[in-house]
Amino acid sequence: MADALPEFPPGMVAILATVGPGGPAAIPVSAVVRHGPRSLLLGLAGRRGSLVRLRADPRVALSLSGPGFCLAVEGEAAVAADPLPGVERMVAVAVRATGIRDTRGAATEVDAGMLWRWTDEAADARHRAVMAALTRLAAGTIV
């Protein structure tokens, strides 16, 4: 069991799993910010089914991989800001890790995680705005 979440670069993609009446569902999330040793902030579009599911059942799991780590994170999610200030179509979700497990085998190492890059300038600008708003929220500079 790991004690804390590692630092990771902007643009790192996490796989978020939620559970609902139809069973589990997993999606990639590119708007992820570390918010302390055992918590993350995620940016989800307000229309996402994952948001509906986690509001009904806060249990979530995330897979997060990057240079030197490959983690399974279990925890509880709660809406931190709806809407996310400055990006009104987005919702900030706080995930508090109740378990952090390193899933690398004894003979494996992770050289790089999944990184997301927007190829459309407008989409890239929106993503940068979401990441900036999540970073401000994590720093406590917006409520």
Overall average pLDDT of the 101-116 stretch:
88
pLDDT for 49 beyond 50: yes
- What the block records as the tokens of 35 is 């918010």
Per-residue pLDDT, 12: 87
| Res. 143 pLDDT band, cuts 50 70 90 | very low
Overall average pLDDT of the 117-125 stretch:
93
The one-letter amino acid code at 130 reads V
Mean pLDDT across the chain: 92
pLDDT for 108 beyond 50: yes
Lowest mean pLDDT among 35-39, 68-72, 87-91, 138-142: 138-142
User: In whole angstroms, what separates CA 42 from the centre of its chain?
Assistant: 4
d(CA 71, CA 33): 15
Share of the chain above pLDDT 90, in %: 76
pLDDT for 63 beyond 80: yes
The DSSP output letter for 7 is: P
Per-residue pLDDT, 142: 56
Q: Does domain 14-139 have CATH number 2.60.40.10?
A: no
Residues 92 and 134: beta-carbon distance below 8 Å: yes
d(CA 9, CA 32): 10
Helices first, then strands: H and E counts in the chain: 2, 7
pLDDT for 93 beyond 60: yes
- What the block records as the tokens of 132 is 């900036």
Alpha-carbon distance values, 70 to 74, 80, 96 (Å): 13, 26, 18
